[in-house]
Amino acid sequence: MSVPRYTDRPFPAYRFIPGQSPHPRRDPHGHSYGQPEPAPPLFMPEEWWDSEWYLYGIDLYNHGYWWECHEVFEGLWHAVGPDSPQGQFLQALIQAAAANLKRLVNASEPASTLSRAALERLQKFSGIYMGVDVAALTEDVRASFDGSREKPALIRLVWPETSADL
């Protein structure tokens, strides 16, 4: 099954994995060394498809750039407000990404804690939210962490229907 791309933005030179690659911001060899923290602009949840930052964060997540995804989603989280519904949803995505990274480095207890927190936040949403089928994502995240699914969950976007009055 192919993994969709939602933007044309290039990926960083490598996926940061703690203990295995240079820290992106702190190490002079890091792929984001000396660059400012992402500061994406605010966007309305019902206009998610217009946020290149949101779409890029999903690209990063789906292609295993979990630390980098966390950085982008955290910038969005700050822009929209952490206590807003949109902020809570972004925090669930941040926690799912962090859980995947922890699992990758065999930190199973922190991965479980983060995945439970992500699932708890996702339960506050239903239907399609910001282009995500929340029930499908919730099930995929749960299956990924309970061992019934080998690969991490993907975030697949559901594009709004276009209506043409004929």
77, 87 contact by CB (below 8 A) = yes
Question: Mean pLDDT throughout 40-58?
Answer: 94
CA distance 43 to 46: 9
Instruction: Please report which confidence band the pLDDT of residue 1 belongs to, taking 50, 70 and 90 as the band edges.
Output: low
Res. 118: pLDDT tops 90: yes
Q: What confidence tens digit (pLDDT) does each residue in 58-101 have?
A: 999 999 999 999 999 999 999 999 999 999 999 999 999 999 99
- CATH second-level architecture of 45-146? Orthogonal Bundle (1.10)
Question: Mean pLDDT throughout 106-115?
Answer: 93
For residue 124, what are its two tokens? 């506050």
Which pLDDT belongs to residue 161? 73
Q: What is the CA radius of gyration of the chain?
A: 16
Instruction: Please report which confidence band the pLDDT of residue 162 belongs to, taking 50, 70 and 90 as the band edges.
Output: low
Res. 112: pLDDT tops 80: yes
Which pLDDT belongs to residue 150? 77
What mean pLDDT is reported for the chain?
92
Residue ranges per structural domain of the chain: 45-146
24, 16 contact by CB (below 8 A) = yes
CB within 8 Å of 137: residues ≥ 6 apart = 122, 153, 155
What residue type is assigned to position 93 of the chain?
L
Percentage of residues in the chain having pLDDT higher than 90? 81
- Which pTM value belongs to this model? 0.92
CB within 8 Å of 51: residues ≥ 6 apart = 40, 41, 43, 76
